[in-house]
């Protein structure tokens, strides 16, 4: 790792989409850049608050950012901003990562008939090209034959292998027990929190470069559409929905970057997109459909023509009604579109969904979860107890219990989850056994929440939305976010934050009673008691009570 001052100057010069598509330029982009953003467009993770709501959550949006301090991005993100804004961000320094030598213990191997020498071959290129060969072989044999099934299994295995070795392994983290930590980032400080050990192949340089490169490709596509005087309907991790007359030209725009030995566009045109309509609610909540007279038709095929964000963790409520392979989410999207075009049908649709509960599936995968079933397991034979890695059903709470907390139903697993609604269940919070449909959240509420879900990352309500202009006051250092959806529902797990304890203590000691009252801390003695603990060196609980209120206001 060394300071690099060469090619970064080249990228300060005017950049258009064709310069950004130069294959040789991409080989020079493994540069980490320190910038001071001033109304530049960058990916930023922050708490986006939903409009007309107090709900907020950490999320990533690509928005205008102005910040007094330094932020670090890899060069592809710098170029993406320059393409979209027309100006070069203020660069303070740049570090280029230069590989040296070859790992000595690399060994040659064979994967599905292809010889791979890791000292000479690009593994990903070899695997992608082999998968393409297999797919071509599949076209020559009958789909009903054993040979076709074998080839299909091989190409799917190669796809999984490619997906797992091109990104995930480079950012693999394993949260461990809480302990005292030293954090090294744009700042260095001491804190306490969950230690995150790295996976075997962890390499943040590669991981961050991959995502930055993908964002640059999408920025090139967006700039192409802008230059044509058009707009895109939506953009996802690896796709963009553009006016049909631009699709072919845009697809071939990326041909100069194709690293493979076969002729296939990097940005492929999806089949079955003729006369297609787009309906979007918010980020990752959209559906593609056709209008055949007064009838709404969602196409079927290998590709899903709708996003399941916010619904994926819910078990199929219609499991006893739909045929095997049918998607219940498609039925919900059909009703969403029906309500849009025929609002008068909303009461009937809500009445239909009122009869189904919102239920998720949970694996007893941690000791914390297992402890909740201690009362249920008492006095039972082992074969009747809830054991590690058993599956359970989890209900979204809809009723407050005697302790003032929302009751969170837990029930034994059943292939027809809806039967749990009529049977006794365990309250995850208290361990008490309860029964009653009114404890289970009806699907009708989810339906209403889904169609009214506001967009948090962009400005606007209807039509073409605009990027937000963000002015962060500071950085919050966070940890691994890949908590299970069902556990977030059960325990409201928030993102692990790493608090600069020294700065926090200094800030608390500087507070006056009027400051704490503005935060909702009415009793001045409470603030004094916390200050006394700090001055006496006593340990604070940063996750609960008044201290947590102070932490939230500090961050």
Question: Does residue 222 belong to any structural domain of this protein?
Answer: no
Domain co-membership, 293 together with 347:
yes
Residue 459 DSSP SS3:
strand
Question: Does residue 389 belong to any structural domain of this protein?
Answer: yes
> Shortest CA distance to 28 belongs to which of 94, 79, 72, 75?
75
Q: How many domains does the chain have?
A: 4
Domain range for 311:
284-354+447-454
Domain co-membership, 116 together with 161:
yes
Scanning 417-518, the segments in alpha helix (DSSP H) are: 443-451, 485-491, 501-510, 513-518
Domain co-membership, 343 together with 373:
no
> Shortest CA distance to 317 belongs to which of 412, 415, 426?
415
Question: Does residue 426 belong to any structural domain of this protein?
Answer: yes
Question: Does residue 523 belong to any structural domain of this protein?
Answer: yes
Domain co-membership, 372 together with 349:
no
Question: Does residue 405 belong to any structural domain of this protein?
Answer: yes
What does each of the 555 residues of the chain score in pLDDT, given as a tens digit? 333 444 565 566 677 788 888 888 888 888 999 999 999 999 998 888 776 666 666 788 999 999 998 999 999 999 999 999 999 999 999 998 888 888 888 899 888 778 899 888 998 899 999 999 999 999 999 999 999 999 999 999 999 988 888 888 898 888 777 778 888 887 888 888 888 888 899 999 999 999 999 999 999 999 999 999 999 998 888 889 999 899 999 999 999 999 888 888 888 888 777 788 999 998 888 999 998 888 889 987 667 788 878 888 888 888 777 765 567 888 999 999 999 999 999 999 999 999 999 999 888 877 777 777 777 778 888 887 888 888 889 888 777 767 677 888 988 888 899 999 999 888 887 778 889 988 999 999 999 989 988 888 898 888 888 999 999 988 888 876 544 444 444 444 466 788 889 999 999 999 988 888 888 888 888 888 999 999 998 888 887 888 888 988 886
Scanning 345-409, the segments in alpha helix (DSSP H) are: 346-353, 367-371, 374-377
Positions of E strands within 221-274: 234-236, 239-241
CA 112 to chain centre: 32
Question: Does residue 494 belong to any structural domain of this protein?
Answer: no
* Other Cβ atoms closer than 10 A to 218: 19
Looking at 397, 419, 454, which one is the last position of a domain? 454
Looking at 407, 441, 475, which one is the last position of a domain? 441
The answer to whether 307 and 284 have CB atoms below 8 angstroms apart is yes
Both tokens assigned to 499: 């608090």
Domain co-membership, 300 together with 322:
yes
* Region for residue 404 given its phi and psi (left: phi exceeds 0; alpha: psi -120 to 50; beta: otherwise): left
- CA angle at 447 for the pair 357 and 436, rounded to the nearest 5°: 20
Question: Does residue 89 belong to any structural domain of this protein?
Answer: no
Domain co-membership, 328 together with 395:
no
How far apart are the C-alpha atoms of 164 and 160, rounded to whole Å? 6
Domain co-membership, 334 together with 388:
no
Looking at 166, 184, 203, which one is the last position of a domain? 166
How far apart are the C-alpha atoms of 221 and 80, rounded to whole Å? 10
Angle between helices 346-353 and 443-451 (to 10 degrees): 140
* Other Cβ atoms closer than 10 A to 81: 27
H or E segment at 158?
A: helix 146-166
The answer to whether 143 and 275 have CB atoms below 8 angstroms apart is no
The answer to whether 357 and 442 have CB atoms below 8 angstroms apart is yes
The answer to whether 49 and 40 have CB atoms below 8 angstroms apart is no
DSSP state of 224: H
């Amino acid at each position: 790792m060394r300071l690099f001052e060469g090619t970064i100057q080249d990228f300060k010069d005017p950049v258009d989409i064709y310069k950004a598509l130069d294959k040789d330029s991409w080989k020079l982009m493994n540069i980490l850049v320190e910038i001071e953003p001033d109304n530049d467009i960058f990916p930023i993770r922050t708490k986006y608050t939903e409009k007309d709501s107090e709900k907020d959550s950490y999320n990533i949006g690509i928005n205008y950012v102005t910040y007094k301090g330094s932020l670090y991005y890899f060069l592809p993100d710098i170029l993406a901003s320059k393409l979209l804004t027309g100006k070069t961000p203020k660069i303070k320094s740049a570090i280029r990562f230069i590989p040296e030598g070859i790992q000595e213990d690399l060994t040659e191997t064979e994967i599905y008939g292809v010889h791979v020498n890791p000292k000479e071959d690009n593994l990903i290129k070899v695997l992608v090209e082999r998968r393409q060969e297999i797919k071509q072989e599949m076209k020559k044999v009958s789909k009903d034959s054993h040979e076709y099934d074998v080839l299909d299994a091989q190409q799917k295995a190669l796809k999984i292998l490619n997906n797992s070795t091109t990104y995930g392994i480079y950012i693999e983290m394993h949260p461990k027990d809480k302990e005292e930590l030293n954090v090294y980032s744009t700042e260095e400080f001491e804190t306490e929190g969950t230690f995150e050990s790295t996976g075997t192949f962890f390499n943040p340089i590669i991981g961050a470069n991959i995502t930055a490169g993908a964002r640059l490709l999408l920025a090139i596509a967006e700039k192409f559409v802008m230059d044509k005087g058009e707009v895109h309907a939506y953009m996802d991790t690896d796709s963009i929905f553009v006016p049909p007359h631009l699709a072919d030209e845009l697809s071939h725009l990326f041909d100069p970057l194709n690293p493979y030995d076969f002729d296939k566009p990097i940005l492929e045109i999806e089949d079955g997109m003729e006369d297609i309509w787009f309906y979007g609610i918010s980020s990752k909540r959209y559906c593609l459909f056709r209008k055949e007279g007064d009838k709404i038709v969602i196409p079927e095929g290998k590709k899903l023509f709708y996003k399941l964000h916010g619904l994926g963790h819910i078990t199929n409520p219609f499991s006893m009604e739909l045929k095997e392979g049918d998607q219940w989410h498609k039925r919900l999207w059909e009703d969403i579109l029906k309500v849009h075009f025929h609002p008068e049908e909303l009461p009937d649709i809500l009445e239909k969904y009122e009869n189904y509960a919102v239920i998720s599936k949970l694996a007893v995968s941690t000791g914390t979860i297992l402890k909740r079933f201690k009362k249920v397991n008492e006095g039972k034979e082992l074969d009747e107890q809830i054991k590690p890695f058993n599956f359970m059903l989890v209900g979204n709470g809809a009723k407050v219990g005697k302790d003032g907390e929302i009751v969170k139903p837990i029930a034994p697993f059943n292939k027809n989850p809806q039967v749990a609604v009529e049977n006794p269940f365990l309250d995850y919070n208290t361990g008490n056994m309860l029964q009653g449909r009114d404890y289970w959240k009806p699907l009708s509420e989810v339906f209403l929440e889904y169609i009214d879900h506001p967009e948090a990352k962009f400005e606007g309500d209807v039509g073409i939305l605009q990027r937000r202009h963000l002015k962060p006051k500071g950085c919050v250092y966070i940890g691994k976010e890949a908590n299970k959806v069902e556990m977030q529902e059960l325990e409201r797990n928030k993102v692990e934050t790493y608090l600069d304890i020294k700065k926090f203590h200094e800030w608390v000691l500087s507070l006056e009673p009027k400051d704490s009252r503005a935060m909702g801390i009415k009793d001045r003695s409470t603030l004094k008691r916390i200050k006394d603990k700090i001055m006496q060196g006593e340990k604070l609980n940063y996750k609960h009570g008044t201290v947590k209120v102070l932490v939230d206001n500090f961050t």
